[in-house]
Amino acid sequence: MIWVQICQTQATTGYCPKNYCRSVIYPDRNVRNDYIPGTSDELNYVREYPNLEKLEIFEYFEYINNSNISTTELLYLDYCKNLKELTCSRINLTILDLKQNNELERLNCYNNLTKGSYNQFYGSLKPLENLSKLKELNISNTDIDSGLEFLSESIEIFRCSTDYYKAKSYKQKLQYESQELKTQLMELKQKKEDSDRNLLNLEMIAEIYYQYKLNLQEQLDQSEARNQELKLLSAKQIREFAEKESTFQIQIDFLQNENHTLVGSLAIQLKQNKLTNKQVQSQIGKLKKDKLELQEKLIKSAACIQKLKSQKQT
């Protein structure tokens, strides 16, 4: 069997309801025969104390005939969500589930070496990583050999004393873990340096990108100003072209009208020229006829003169 001392914060006198009970020795005479001695079922009794804040569990030799009888796991602790202090020693503990006991501040798993037994709570401290409020931890004479990195920063007292051989082994493991932590620290420092360099490179890239962005913005502003100037110039040229087009259209209309006038005048002139030419041709014909008649007359006159000369000579 095991000794269970259950403590709660509220002090009482006389009969104490379990919800307010400050301390209890288990198993007592009334419940001693209700459970199988030496099994974890004995701790089913803990469920009847929902407001429990302190729990101490020891091997109680007065009630046992076989000293090898003990419990290996603590069940029903998830019913004690307000538990702040837990002591479990000399019970060959191998399983301790404290996932639901986030309020725990003190955990004692030490062992009394004069009894010749060792607490078999072994392995790593990883199961304690959720205990963010843990201030005091005692794992003396246990087989826990790793997992210091899982302990909360809230730890103020840490006890892990043991015999020489375990101390040597534990020291070697601590040295190994310390070396691993140093290696991890060096790796972290190297990663930090790499990160710093990467950050510096990123800052340089960001600066280059920023300057490039400024240059692009400046070029964009210049392009926008040039585009605005081109728009104004284009609008001015369009207005000038419209004015010239209007002037040209007036000149074209004037020339077309003048052309129409000239064409009309030319037609009249041609008609007059045709009439004049006809008259001239008629006069030329008449002159030619008169010329012929004159030539005939001259010929006749010459013949007459010649005849007269001939007559005169004879």
Mean pLDDT, to the nearest integer, of 28-34? 41
Span 252-269, pLDDT tens digits? 999 989 888 888 888 888
The two three-digit tokens of residue 230, written as one number: 């081109």
Domains along the chain?
2-162 (3.80.10)
- Model pTM score: 0.43
Sequence-ordered list of residues with C-beta below 8 angstroms from that of 197, at least 6 positions apart, any chain? none
Which residue in 88, 107, 80 sits closest to 19, CA to CA? 80
Is the bond preceding residue 127 a cis peptide, omega within 30 degrees?
A: no
For a pLDDT cut of 70, what percent of the chain falls above it?
A: 69
Distance CA 135, CA 151 (A): 10
Residue 232's pLDDT is 92
* Stretch among 9-13, 93-97, 126-130, 189-193 having the lowest mean pLDDT: 9-13
Distance CA 71, CA 35 (A): 13
Ranked by mean pLDDT, which of 3-17, 70-84, 120-134, 281-295 comes out on top?
281-295
Distance CA 186, CA 177 (A): 14
Mean pLDDT, rounded, of the chain: 74
At residue 148's C-alpha, the angle toward residues 147 and 153, to 5°, is 130
Residue 121's pLDDT is 54
